Amino acid sequence: MAPQGLIAHGRGEAFDYLFGETTPKSSRLATKAAVALLLSARNPVISVNGNTAALVPREIVKLARSVPAQLEINLFHKSAAREQRIASLLKRNGAINVLGASASAKVRIPGVASARRSVDPRGIGGADVVLVPLEDGDRAEALRKTGKMVIAIDLNPMSRTSQTASVTIVDNILRAIPELVSCTLRMKHLSRSRLRAITSSFDNQGNLSRVIGDMVRYMHGWM
């Protein structure tokens, strides 16, 4: 994990205490909407950064296999050596194909200044739905601008990522990914029209307000 990754992790943990380190009820609704989006996507892709690989390597591979979705490594602190290490960690945990770790053709996401702008055209570049755990706001916003549906996992409901995503799961990634896997297995056999009904009835802004309400109620319990 990069040192900046450790700081981002600490920021996340601070928010986790504000929920009592449990999954808020409102986040379960977002998980259901996220699964409906992933299952109805034409080309769903899971973006993997250093923190995600370090925290949930086995579970993220399980999720990719159960949807199925592609895995693409996308790093802020990019180096070929880090990409290779993360790719082999994912492969040791059962991944068959991992994008983003070779010098294959890359396309740019307009509006992203960091190294994260460079993506694989078969993966994030051509995706209609992208799951972006522990994202930075710039890239989440830029992905939305290219017309992709973005699913974020972020413990801070007020971050730019949370506010710009199409579906935001406010939860610790350690709990959110296993929950996404079991929800995917439960919803896998739903019809397309049922999946569409779930996604179109989901209101991300409204749900984020409910998440903040859950946080405030939990803190009231301490007063």
Q: Which residue is nearest to ligand ATP (CB)?
A: 12
Site string for ligand ATP, 14-53 (x = CB under 6 A): -x--------------------------------------
Collapse the DSSP code of 85 into the 3-class scheme (helix H, G, I; strand E, B; otherwise coil) and give the result. helix
Query: Rounded to whole angstroms, how far apart are CA atoms 37 and 32?
Result: 9
Would you count residue 179 as binding ligand ATP (CB under 6 A)?
A: no
Report the interhelical angle of 192-200 vs 25-40 (nearest 10°): 130
Residue with Cβ nearer ligand ATP (146 or 156): 156
- Write out the two tokens for 168: 């935001």
- Hey, what are 77's tokens? 């602190």
Q: Looking at beta carbons only, is 77 or 122 nearer to ligand ATP?
A: 77
Considering only 34-42, 95-103, 133-141, 191-199, which stretch makes contact with ligand ATP by CB under 6 A?
Answer: 133-141
Cβ proximity of 70 and 97 under 8 Å: yes
Which residues are CB-contacts of 174 (< 8 A; sequence separation ≥ 6)? 55, 56
Among 109, 134, 142, 151, binds ligand ATP (CB under 6 A): 134
Give me the residues that bind ligand ATP (CB under 6 A), please.
8-9, 11-12, 15, 134, 136-137, 153-156, 159-161, 172-173
